[in-house]
Amino acid sequence: MAEDGKPRHRVVIVGGGFGGMLAARGLGKSACDITLIDRRNFHLFQPLLYQVATGALSPANIAAPLRSIVRRQANTRVILGEVSGFDLTAKTVERRGGEPIPFDTLILATGATHTYFGHDEWASLAPGLKTIEDATEIRRRVLSAFERAEQETDPAIRARLLTFVIVGGGPTGVEMAGAIRELAGQTMRYDFRAIDPCMARIVIVEGQSRVLGGFHESLSRKAQRSLDKLGIELHLNSHVTAITADHVEYRPEGGTSPPITIPTETVVWAAGVRGSILGKMIAQAAGGVEVDKAGRVAVQPNCTIGTRSDVFVIGDLACYKTPEGKMLPGVAPVAMQQGQYVARVVAARVAGDTTDLGPFKYWDKGSMATIGRAKAVAETGGIRISGLLAWLAWLFIHILYLAQFENRVLVLWQWMFNYFTRNRAARLITGEMALRPNDPNRGLPPGATVVKA
């Protein structure tokens, strides 16, 4: 790691998501030795996971091997491994099954996972949408529900199998609901003989008073109208109180009546997220930095933590408060801009440049969500658009993003092709469970059973 006898500055980046990857790319031409460590060998474009979960895209369409992304950066090595802790005195990152990795600068960008608000027993009943495995598991459940409904003769069970409940009305929940409607009502419309997939009941249960809580109210209203047109049921101000193998219970806020039951066997969790466990570890190692209740680490205006100028936390794992006291949302653009910013800070330090880069500033290019094909809502600055125009903007921005990596032509083409043809050719039921098609208890935790009514 030395060149001309002079030791090079060692940067360790943990996590190859939006933040970590942009940090690595930003340091590609700097005089640092970069180690990018991740549990997975690919970067994942999480915002499109719901397209995998509904068979429109293949996992490889929204994932790029990390090694490809930094292939041309001779100063960057990629390590597939799992970080287990930090020693900020020795300045090393500890990992399972390998030597600790020494660093001069550490950038932690391990993101968030979903949380069930204390109901961990719901995890196997209502998978979230954070990994490739989550997406293919949800795809298996959704497709299997239609398959089982086709063979079911009891009308009550058939209706239950054709009911899909999405917990959470944020962008993921809304997009997922729209995609299931499209899958059922268009793609698979003529695929069955005993059932009409158009009859699928799709329900969103949302705790707040509107969907897309992060957006302007007028856009929430437009989104709600779109959901209504698609025949998607929306229960606002409603909290899920139980999830079992054959139903979901929710209770309207402030109500005193007993909870309302929705018979269903397919539930998707699109509600809470919680910072990676490494957030707590780094906060402790740095001498007790504050961690909020969603597991996010409080960061300084320059994304360092506590008094450690050599340790950065970025992306979904960071709790970044603007000077106005507003917390930045856990979305890809924040992570990407923080990654780029931190790369600039580190590169300047290494180059001996003492110009003050100032605090991190988030440039909000706007938010957008899509609800079925050719319907979306978007806001940027003071401008809010919806409908086809918003959808085209959504498409354009996603393509732009995907195009910035290696293999841009390939990804671009595949993705556009998959998206513009209405086909969802990736409707594969795979995995071990796929081989037990008639087992009503597959996918349930041991001991749980589906009770036939």
What are the residues binding a second copy (CB under 8 A)? 39-42, 58-61, 63-65, 67-68, 71-72, 77-82, 95-98, 132-133, 136, 143-144, 147-148, 150-151, 188, 190-194, 407, 409-411, 413-414, 417-418, 421, 423, 425-432, 434-440
> Cβ of residue 96: shortest distance to a second copy, in angstroms?
5
Secondary structure (3-state) at 73: coil
Strands 318-319 and 297-298, by their bridges, are: parallel
- Structure tokens given for 250: 């929710």
How far apart are the C-alpha atoms of 30 and 405, rounded to whole Å? Answer: 19
Helices (H) and strands (E) in the chain, counts: 11, 27
> Cβ of residue 79: shortest distance to a second copy, in angstroms?
6
How far apart are the C-alpha atoms of 420 and 113, rounded to whole Å? Answer: 31
> Cβ of residue 78: shortest distance to a second copy, in angstroms?
8
How far apart are the C-alpha atoms of 151 and 143, rounded to whole Å? Answer: 13
| Nearest to a second copy of 36, 336 (CB atom) | 36
| Nearest to a second copy of 297, 426 (CB atom) | 426
What is the Cα Rg of the chain in Å?
Answer: 23
Contact 20, 315 (CB under 8 A): yes
| Nearest to a second copy of 120, 432 (CB atom) | 432
| Nearest to a second copy of 58, 380 (CB atom) | 58
Residue 435 phi, psi dihedral angles, 5° rounding: -85, 0
- How many Cα atoms within 13 Å fall on the side-chain side of residue 201? 19
| Nearest to a second copy of 99, 120 (CB atom) | 99
**Active-site annotation holds for 175:** yes
> Cβ of residue 186: shortest distance to a second copy, in angstroms?
13
- Structure tokens given for 44: 């994942």
How far apart are the C-alpha atoms of 447 and 71, rounded to whole Å? Answer: 48
| Active-site entry in 82, 121, 147, 175 | 175
Residues in Cβ contact with 453 at an 8 Å cutoff, skipping those fewer than 6 apart: 154, 156, 157
> Cβ of residue 272: shortest distance to a second copy, in angstroms?
21
> Cβ of residue 35: shortest distance to a second copy, in angstroms?
10
What secondary structure does DSSP assign to 367-405, as a single string? EEEE-STT-EEEEETTEEEETHHHHHHHHHHHHHHHHTS
| Nearest to a second copy of 186, 237 (CB atom) | 186
Sign of CA dihedral 355, 358, 360, 362: negative
Enumerate the active-site residues.
Answer: 175
